[in-house]
Amino acid sequence: MSLDRLAPIGLAELVERASLLERVDRKYVVPRALLPDLLAAAPTGTRVLELDGRRTHGYRSVYLDTPDLASYRVAGQRRRRRWKVRSRAYLDSGGSWLEVKTRSAREVTTKVRMPHPDLEAAALDDAGASFVDASLAGARVDGVRARDLRPVLATSYDRATLLLPGTRPTRVTVDTELGWTWLAAHDGPTSRDLDRPALAIVETKGGSTPSSMDRLLWARGHRPVSISKYGVGVAALHDVPRLKWHRVLARDLGVSAAPYPHEGILL
């Protein structure tokens, strides 16, 4: 991905300068083949997260939802109080966290987290359940309790994280080797998978003002899209209404209108 020319930044400095647990996100789906040109045009002073000599890092997320997929539905119907509960495993370092993401009526994303094992390997422990309940209540999400949640979907990808220069901190993540697996065993076969190795998801995370990376993407004909790894994964692999993700699935991810038709398909 042409990351070698960028100066490195360590995790502690990145968090100090741009933790951005409250932020405005903009997401773009781009062909992976275009990443070298995009990264070559990044502004002077852009730095890339480097850990133990690695500049890309493997991630695995396991999402929890209610039996009626309340998290999926409130996001897809653009409700005011949206939420996600997931574990995120850092495959290179071995760490794993429990995360609760919420989005307010002002479209501001807030993320809180605590150490916790991968949610497919281990159920929510008492501390994790209390953390989820307190986080959702604090975000004024009503009617959802940790005891109602179950593993639904796993996503995996490789991520590079950039810090753009400037007085207003902006992080950019570049996700490749995108893959999804359906986990809700009693809903049907457990082997339903979707893979998109030829695509990348670029996400800018900063303030309300567009960043230099946003402007680079716009100049190359890319516009922000309404995409959630969880949302498109559920819509592609389960027989549910596709809600606001129907267009990005067909146009950007190449998924047909039939429910979960492409087991293991590669683009």
Going from N- to C-terminal start, the domains of the chain cover 7-75+86-92+152-251
Residue 92's nearest CA partner among 51, 48, 47 is 51
**So what's the pLDDT on residue 235?**
94
pLDDT attached to residue 264: 38
Q: What is the structure's pLDDT at 188?
A: 53
Tens digits of pLDDT across the chain (267 residues):
679 889 999 988 888 887 655 667 899 999 999 999 999 999 999 999 999 899 999 999 999 999 999 999 999 987 778 899 999 999 987 889 999 999 765 667 788 999 999 998 889 999 999 999 999 999 889 899 999 999 999 999 999 999 999 877 789 999 999 999 999 765 554 558 999 999 999 999 887 789 999 999 999 999 999 899 999 999 999 989 999 999 999 999 999 765 444 433 333
Q: Report pLDDT for 18.
A: 74
